[in-house]
Amino acid sequence: MKKVLVITYSQSGQLEEIVTNMLKPLEGKVDIHYKKLKPVPAFPFPWTDMTFWDAMPESVKMIPARVEPLDLNPMVNYDLIILGYPIWFLSPPIPLTTFLKSGQAGQVLKGKPIVTVIGARNMWVGAQEDIKKMIAENGGILKGNIVLRDRHHNIPSVVSIIYWMMTGRKDHYLGIFPKPGVSDKDISEAEKFGGPIKEAILDSQYGKLQNELLELKAVELEPNVVSMERKAKRIFRVWAGLILKKGDAGSKDRIGRLKIFKWYLLFVIFAISPIATILFYLTYPFFFLSIRRKMEHFRGVEIRYSKQSA
Ligand SMILES: Cc1cc2nc3c(=O)[nH]c(=O)nc-3n(C[C@H](O)[C@H](O)[C@H](O)COP(=O)(O)O)c2cc1C
């Protein structure tokens, strides 16, 4: 039987539910080994205010922390590896970065086809670019990507995700905000992606996989959200550098700057982002071709992001 290794990190279990549903068509046809990344110490869930913001600099600058090594039998040769992850501050979550920068990742990923599965709010493209690079550095070959996201409007979804992250409750904040995260419908329908993955693994042919996944709407992009995210990521890098100058994760000395970042970010989301969206659509016709090229790239699994398409 062909063998699939599934490596996930998920705090609420949302991502794991997505991946389990997605792999239902493979059950009984291939041997599936699930492994969860366990950071040491664990990140809190629900989060407290400052621990949440304190995860920003290391996430953005992709500074590894500690995870328990995965308990893997080196004699088992996997045919496909699935990496499932949420997004933290437009970046890969620290536990996955830590794994991908560990020696073990090289041993596990080298020469293997990889499929990534993302369960996010709505801003994930920059993180996936980082992940593409880290997979390649480990000798893995990205063959597919599936993204499930919160489909609600950007602003209410920010409110509802903060509520979810701070309380652990995935329900309607104040009875009026949308349910946070990926919808129950999308989570249960994730099963549809398992078909092409099953065919690819059974035939050992991954060349058409991403196109088949795209036909099933595995990656849906909103160009104005992508544009906002890309600008924000550049600014996050500057903030992360400024905060890191004050100390490492958990340092009391950086709390002041973290608080300023928090209020800056909330101001940008609530006051600036609606204006940025209007400007985006006003100028859309002038940038149509370059936006279309970028979206094409983010839908795909290629690593190189050439100057031409930037
Ligand atoms: C610290 C932190 C930062 C986050 N930043 C983002 C983000 O930048 N973009 C995004 O789409 N989702 C973001 N999210 C939401 C996650 O992508 C994810 O949907 C949520 O954490 C649930 O994932 P889980 O499977 O780990 O429970 C963030 C979550 C956390 C905890």
Task: Report CA(251)–ligand 1 centroid distance (Å).
Answer: 23
Cβ of 15 below 6 Å from ligand 1: yes
Task: Report CA(89)–ligand 1 centroid distance (Å).
Answer: 7
Cβ of 89 below 6 Å from ligand 1: yes
Q: Which of 87, 151, 162, 231 to mutate to test the pocket of ligand 1 (most atoms within 8 A of CB)?
A: 87
Q: Which residues contact 184 (CB under 8 A, 6 or more apart)?
A: none
Number of other residues whose CB lies within 10 A of the CB of residue 96:
30
Cβ of 86 below 6 Å from ligand 1: yes
pTM over 0.75: yes
Domain boundaries, the chain: 3-152+179-215, 223-309
CA nearest ligand 1 atom 11, residue: 121
At the topology level, CATH places domain 3-152+179-215 in Rossmann fold (3.40.50)
The owner of tokens 């990742």 is 105
Task: Report CA(242)–ligand 1 centroid distance (Å).
Answer: 22
Enclosing H/E stretch for 287: helix 273-299
Q: Which atom of ligand 1 is nearest to the CA of 87?
A: 17
Cβ of 84 below 6 Å from ligand 1: no
Q: What is the per-residue pLDDT for 74?
A: 82
Structural contact between residues 218 and 200, judged by C-beta atoms closer than 8 angstroms: no
CA nearest ligand 1 atom 4, residue: 88
Cα–Cα–Cα angle for 289, 295, 299, rounded to 5 degrees: 145
CA nearest ligand 1 atom 12, residue: 121
Cβ of 91 below 6 Å from ligand 1: no
Q: Which atom of ligand 1 is nearest to the CA of 90?
A: 8
140/282 Cα distance (integer angstroms):
41
Q: Which of 18, 88, 150, 154 to mutate to test the pocket of ligand 1 (most atoms within 8 A of CB)?
A: 88
| Closest to 84 measured CA to CA, from 46, 35, 141 | 35
Q: Which of 43, 58, 89, 186 to mutate to test the pocket of ligand 1 (most atoms within 8 A of CB)?
A: 89
Cβ of 8 below 6 Å from ligand 1: no
Tens-digit pLDDT string for the chain (310 aa): 999 999 999 999 999 999 999 999 999 999 999 999 999 999 999 999 999 999 999 999 999 999 999 999 888 999 999 999 999 999 999 999 999 999 999 999 999 999 999 999 999 999 999 999 999 999 999 999 999 999 999 999 999 999 999 999 999 998 899 999 999 999 999 999 999 999 999 999 999 999 999 999 999 999 999 999 999 999 999 999 999 999 999 999 999 999 999 999 999 999 999 999 999 999 999 999 999 999 999 999 998 754 443 3
Q: What is the per-residue pLDDT for 143?
A: 98
Task: Report CA(109)–ligand 1 centroid distance (Å).
Answer: 24
The owner of tokens 């300023």 is 260
| Closest to 135 measured CA to CA, from 7, 299, 4 | 7
